[in-house]
Amino acid sequence: MAYKIINGKEISAAVKERIKNEVEALKVKGIGVGLAVILVGENPASKVYVANKKKACEELGIKSFEFKLPEQTTEEELISLIKKLNENSEVNGILCQLPLPAHLDESTVINTIVPEKDVDAFHPVNVGKIMIGDFDFLPCTPAGIMEMLGFMNIDVCGKECVVIGRSNIVGKPMAMLLLHKNATVTVCHSKTKDLKAVTSRADVLVSAVGRAGFVTADMVKEGAVVIDVGMNRNAENKLCGDVDFEAVAEKCSAITPVPGGVGPMTIAMLMQNTLTAAKKQNNF
């Protein structure tokens, strides 16, 4: 069947344009928007993500505060920096790039960021708000996926949606957001029995497992919408997703490519969260 490509570059450009206009409108009122990004250590993937975030800030007129800390930074030093940023009124959003070096406790670090500046939406307060459907921020990747579905006029109400992966960053919040839009949601994981039987029922299938070519054509229902969150390297070291794109696309009504699908949306939604934080902190 003929399938539509869900173009993350195109949709994120539209989202960014909207944010840029709002940031400019706030500047006219004397209100700046600022994001602080903390990077501990030399993780190559994290360095790329941080550079992309900085570039997006520059494009949209958001002030970027960057803190590159050495691998051996102590937890005390990192916590002390976060506390300073919590107090700094020029900083509306704080993001500590994960994963952290092994000697640092992720949950302690996340819990130190005040919920109103937690633009990743990882703080337990923000997680709880997402659970009950009364949230200020959403985790950037699931939020980006919902934005894409909306842009493509894909209504999930009453649809059977399957999420593969149960991480706190993508899988669990993704399931909650689909549920808030009245989808019937199943979350699959490494212990799911007969995965194929479950995924074959999905009207909308979201894969966030991080394994190249994991989702094959026989796992997908004819006419399904397939969202690929994976960012993997295949045997040829080429960037690819969780989905065997060539084979699966033939069965889909719509599908996201990798690269150029979900990736650009994640950063756009981080910018959206930073703008939301600035507006809330200035009572807009």
Enzyme catalytic residues: 53, 97, 120
Instruction: Tell me the CA end-to-end span of the chain in Å, nearest whole number.
Output: 47
Greatest alpha-carbon span in the chain:
57
Residue 57's identity, in one-letter code, is C
Determine if the peptide bond prior to 99 is cis (ω within 30°): yes
Pairing of strands 63-69, 160-164: unpaired
**CA distances to 2, 10, 136, 159, 211 from 49, in Å:** 34, 19, 23, 33, 20
Contact call for residues 270 and 121 (beta carbons, < 8 A): no
**Phi, psi angle pair for 221, to nearest 5°:** -75, 145
Q: Which amino acid is at 121?
A: A
Residue 226 pairs in a beta bridge with 205, 255
Helices 262-281 and 44-60: angle between axes, nearest 10 degrees: 60
